[in-house]
Structure 1
Amino acid sequence: MTKTSGKSKIKDFKRHEMFSKVKVPPGIPFFVRVDGKGFHRLISELKFAKPYDEKFMNIMVCSAKAVFEIGFNPVLAYIFSDEISFLFIKNFPYDGRIEKMDSLIPSAVASAFTLKLVEENYDHRIVLFDARIIPVSHEDIRMYLAWRQMEAWRNCMNAYAQMALEKMGYKGYKLAEKLKGMKAAEMHELVFKELGINLAKVPTWQRRGIMIRWKKYEKVGYNPILKRYETAWRRKIQVDWELPLFNTDKGKKYLEEVLASFEV
């Protein structure tokens, strides 16, 4: 009689991982758009100012910068509200594996956000971000950013209009219904009448968003081999709070400079 150990063979489940081999096609630029979950409640509980709080946006900026600093190497990050769009055009993280990028990038943002809350003496909260990947052509990079910037402007109008309606006594379902049917011109008029605010004059970052990008600069250093000082191009992270409209000639020139700075 043959004796057995009683142990069954261990099955390898690696091949059961559903999306581990799904990648962004090589050479195709793409955005990873990260969105906060449940942030209306978070902002209320932590008592951030409405409709906008610069302290909150600074936390969002620091959270997005973390993705640059830990080595994912995005070209840029465009931010408004609780949304961040990271652009990648080459040297894709994790060889472009969607499963990895859709999990690790929002994880990095959430971790950095939580740490910054603690650093700024806010109550600790569990913070969630999700992510999606949007492939684009090189030609459509500017159009994608113009699209999100248009959404930032809509968000700005809605936020101030909601504040005006709340002042008038609207709340809950009735507020949502009133806001849903309002056109841009009506929002402008409402906000000016009730709050005395000209929406065209609110801070630029509220209307157009914020950009984190690379900035080229010259660095002078001594070459010990050639025994002389030499100049080289380097890059550093820069945050731009005063953005042009991306669908204008000025916006096109700005984005061309942003993309060129990444290539240093």
Structure 2
Amino acid sequence: MAKSRFEYVKQFERENFLLPQTHIVIRVDGKGFHKFSQHYQFEKPNDVAALSVMNKTAQVMMQQFPDIVLAYGDSDEYLFLMRRDCDLFERREMKLVSTFASYMSVNYLLQWNLAFPDKPISAERIPTFDARAVTYPNHQTVRDYFSWRQVDCHINNLYNTSFWGLIQNCGMTTTEAEEFLKGTVSSDKNEILFTKCGINYNNEPDIFKKGTVLVREYLDWKNTLEQELSDRQKQRQQKLRKKAEIAQHHVDIIKDDFWVQRPWLLN
């Protein structure tokens, strides 16, 4: 590129490089999805078809970015765990964040239009996402982060199921249902659902209670650090990641079993 006297302005650009050998989690959130769900008339408390669009979008993201080893989704939020040795975009935070937000927005729109050809996305209300990148120093903090999000999924879903149960089954208004649930704990909400709405929360689908886990599954995995590999071996590993099956689960990721069975997630 030819130099000019104006090139000094590049000195004002600053890059934040995420710490090497730390676990990067990129969290992508829907922007204004409450109004988006109203505009496209989502079913309450949970819209299975809309959740399927989110899950398919996240799966496409994993196909596009082989460095993602695990994704966890709930409602309009998805968390993407990158492999610890990831050097995508040289670990530049702004590049990672802007790329994931834009890719998620575009892919969601495409998947929506495939799923709902009778009500395609209009310019009046388009899906947009923002993103943030956080680094975690060790295995336990990564697990605690994903545990926190799954607990939050359960708490929110129990409230929403109770809230809409009172409206749909008991004829309450939104204000009355909100007032009725004030000060209640989980056991109270379970009792309200059972006695007033005829709903056994234990029988609710796991996709609502536990969220969705997308994970690369390997039949033959070897614990080899990226630094120990030659360039050719790194290319081979990249191909293996691309070919790995991306499996969808609705399971407990708080207990040890999920992680013990998949040691490649945290190296």
What TM-score range do you get, normalising by the shorter chain? Answer: 0.7 to 0.9
Contact 2:53 2:112 in 1 (8 A): yes
SS in structure 1 of the partner of residue 163 of structure 2 = helix
Q: Give runs of aligned pairs for residues 136-215 of structure 1, distance below 5 A.
A: 136=136, 137-167=138-168, 168-172=170-174, 175-215=177-217
2:91 equivalent in structure 1: 96
1:255 equivalent in structure 2: 259
**CA deviation after TM superposition for structure 1 residue 73, in Å:** 1.6
1:241 and 2:246 equivalent?
no
Larger radius of gyration: 1
Q: Which runs of 5+ in 2 are unaligned?
A: 221-239
SS in structure 1 of the partner of residue 244 of structure 2 = strand
Contact 1:32 1:102 in 2 (8 A): yes
**CA deviation after TM superposition for structure 1 residue 180, in Å:** 4.4
Q: 2:47 & 2:180 partners in 1: Cα distance?
A: 25
Q: 1:45 aligns with which of 26, 36, 39?
A: 39
**CA deviation after TM superposition for structure 1 residue 128, in Å:** 1.2
1:102-152 Cα deviation digits (max 9, x unpaired): 111121111110011111213214111111222222222222111111011
The structure whose residues are more often helix, as a share, is 2
Q: 1:27 aligns with which of 21, 24, 35?
A: 21
Q: 1:141 & 1:190 partners in 2: Cα distance?
A: 35
SS in structure 2 of the partner of residue 13 of structure 1 = helix
Contact 2:166 2:197 in 1 (8 A): no
1:230 equivalent in structure 2: none
RMSD, matched Cα: 2.4
**CA deviation after TM superposition for structure 1 residue 166, in Å:** 2.0
1:77 equivalent in structure 2: 71
Contact 2:59 2:246 in 1 (8 A): no
1:78-124 Cα deviation digits (max 9, x unpaired): 01111101111222321111111111112111111001111121321
Q: 1:13 to 1:258 in 2, by over 3 A?
A: farther
Q: 1:80 to 1:101 in 2, by over 3 A?
A: same
Supply the AA of the counterpart residue of 1:246.
Answer: I
Contact 1:46 1:123 in 2 (8 A): no
Bigger relative contact order, structure 1 or 2 (CA pairs below 8 A, ≥6 apart): 2
Supply the AA of the counterpart residue of 1:24.
Answer: L
Q: 1:81 to 1:216 in 2, by over 3 A?
A: same
Q: 1:205 to 1:33 in 2, by over 3 A?
A: same
Q: 2:121 aligns with which of 110, 121, 124?
A: 124
SS in structure 1 of the partner of residue 254 of structure 2 = coil
Contact 1:77 1:84 in 2 (8 A): yes
1:221 equivalent in structure 2: none
1:200-222 Cα deviation digits (max 9, x unpaired): 1111111111111111136xxxx
Q: 1:148 & 1:85 partners in 2: Cα distance?
A: 9
Contact 1:164 1:190 in 2 (8 A): no
Q: What percentage of residue pairs aligned between the two structures are identical?
A: 25
Contact 1:74 1:86 in 2 (8 A): yes
Supply the AA of the counterpart residue of 1:257.
Answer: Q
Q: Which moves more between the two structures, 180-189 or 82-91?
A: 180-189
**CA deviation after TM superposition for structure 1 residue 23, in Å:** 1.7
SS in structure 2 of the partner of residue 34 of structure 1 = strand
Count residues with an aligned counterpart: 236
Contact 2:112 2:120 in 1 (8 A): yes
